[in-house]
Homo-oligomer: A and B are copies of this chain.
Amino acid sequence: MPHQKLISRLQAASGLSDQDQTRLTRLPYKVKSLADGEYVLRQGDKPSSCIVVMSGLLSRQRVVNARNQISSFYLAGDMPDLPTLHLPIADCDLCSVGSSTIAAVPHSALREMMNESAGLAHAFWRETLIHAAIYREWVENLGSRQALGRVAHLLCELTVRMEFVGLADSGSFRIPLTQQDVADACGLSVVHVNRTIQEIRGLGLIEWENHTVTLLRPEELKALAEFSPEYLHELNPSGGSKVS
């Protein structure tokens, strides 16, 4: 039960056969703990294993134009560097936000497994497609919305994704994000993120203290963010309660 969240996610989406499920549970892996700010992977690396996030939070980031731009967050059950299976050279850094634990699964074992089972290959391909959809949504977020909507949208996405892996309880979840992280993800300055969060607080839509985010009026926050969760392509949620 190391990468259990991954398995149940794949199960929910692709309806794995019993055989495929045991293939997954038999995958070899090594667990590793990460401290806040520790790098899992650097741009240019050619890793020989893939990572599954077991707990905590990773960010994909790169320094562009003297800013640290975060292009994605990865939660428990996600495989941030699955692309390295087919694109060997990592094109971003992968960094732990707060402390995390990960499992490393050798490329060789994954390749072998997918050769044996086309169903599993599909399931993993699908995971990468969902992340691609998330990147596109971020493009829309950064390109079209101003600060208020941008931050609200990020919060909505994180909430739904946390719920999906059973880590959010009635719109409330622990997350070690600093306002600097939000700024890096939203393409804004820390100062402005601070004022923006205060504005969302002031509207009575969220609470955020002590590394815990609570959506007080989820529907209004979604409306503010123009958020619709279809792009996450989540079927059959496996745990956690729904926001709405």
Beyond A71-B140, A139-B69, whether A133 also contacts B83 by CB under 8 A is: yes
Residues in B with CB closer than 8 Å to A64 are 140-141, 143-145, 226
Determine whether the beta carbon of A142 is less than 8 Å from that of B145.
Answer: no
Q: Which of A92, A138, A145 counts the most chain B CB atoms within 10 A?
A: A138
Determine if B133 and A136 form an interchain contact, defined as CB atoms under 8 angstroms apart.
no
Query: A143 is contacted by which of B69, B83, B230, B233 (Cβ under 8 Å)?
Result: B69
Consensus secondary structure, chain A interface: helix
Count how many chain A residues have C-beta atoms less than 8 Å from C-beta atoms of the other chain. Answer: 46
Q: Which residue of B lies closest to A66 (CB)?
A: B144
Contact between A91 and B129, CB atoms less than 8 A apart: no
Give A contacts to B, CB under 8 Å. 60, 62, 64-65, 67, 69, 71-72, 83, 86-87, 89, 91-92, 114-115, 118, 121-122, 125-126, 128-133, 135-136, 138-146, 149, 185-187, 226, 230-231, 233
